[in-house]
Amino acid sequence: MDQTFHPRLTVLTHPLVQHKLTIMRRRETSTGEFRSLAREVSLLMAYELTRDLPIERVPIDTPLEPMMAPSIAGKKLCIVSILRAGDGIASGMLDLVPSARVGHVGLYRDPATQRPVEYYLKLPEDVAERLVIVVDPMLATGHSASAALGRLKAAGCNNLRFACLLAVPEGLSVLAAAHPDVPVFACAVDRALDEHAYIRPGLGDAGDRLFGTK
C-alpha cells in the first residue's frame, strides 16, 4: 500500500502484473498483443479488487453429499467503463466475473477549459445497490475519473472503487481532493505528466494502442 498521493491507494505489485505491464509499455508491442495483455492484466486486477467481497453459506449438493458452501452474498458487481479506453479494461474483468453488470460514462475534454464534459451515461437500474468498479487505463489529470465518480455518487452509489493501469501524482492528488473515500488501484505510479498531459514514461495513448487508431 502506497498512500503518498492518495489515502486509499493500492499499487498492484504482483510479478505477473508487472511483467505484462512492461511488455505493454514497449513501443514495438503490436495492437493485438497490447489488447491481449490489457485483458490479462485486467483479469488479475479484478482478482485483487474483489478479494473482500462478502461471503455467505448456501446449501448445495455435490456428487457425493449435501453441504453448506461459500457463495458471494447479495448484489454483486457493476463495472463502469470510462469511454473509450476503459472498455479495454472492462473486458478483461468480465472474463473473471461474467455476471457483472456493465455501465458506461462518456467524457471528452473541453479544449478551452480542459475540463471533462459528459456526452454519454448508461448505468444499470440497480447500480446503487452494487459494488461499482470504475475503470480507465490511465489516471492522468484525474479530472475525467473525478467527474465519473461524482456522477456515480449522484446516482446513489456509495461502494465505489477506481482501477487503472498507470497513475501519476497529479491525478492521484486530484482524486484525493475530490474523492478521498474511494479506493484507487493502479499497476504503477509513473513519474509525472508532460506539457501535453501525457503520462511519462507511460505507454502512449492507451485508446490508440488498444484499438489501432494511430
Summarize the annotated binding site for 5-phospho-alpha-D-ribose 1-diphosphate as residue ranges.
84, 109, 136-144, 205
User: Is 113 among the residues known to form the active site?
Assistant: yes
User: Can you tell me the distance from the alpha carbon of 190 to that of 211, in angstroms, rounded to the nearest whole number?
Assistant: 23
User: Is 109 among the residues known to form the active site?
Assistant: yes
Which three-class secondary structure state does DSSP give residue 84? coil
User: Is 87 among the residues known to form the active site?
Assistant: no
Question: Which amino acid, residue 130?
Answer: R
User: Is 130 among the residues known to form the active site?
Assistant: no
Which three-class secondary structure state does DSSP give residue 184? strand
Active-site choice (10, 109, 161, 181) = 109
Q: Which residues have C-beta within 8 Å of that of residue 90, sequence separation ≥ 6?
A: 42, 79, 81, 102, 135
Question: What number of CA atoms fall less than 13 Å from residue 104's CA on the CB side?
Answer: 11
Q: Which residue has the cell 475540463?
A: 115
CA 65 to chain centroid: 40
Active-site choice (2, 181, 194, 208) = 208
Active-site choice (113, 126, 151, 191) = 113
Q: Which residues line the annotated binding site?
A: 84, 109, 136-144, 199, 204-206
Which CA distances in Å does 186 have to 20, 138, 151, 167? Answer: 14, 9, 21, 6
Residues assigned a catalytic role: 109, 113, 205, 208
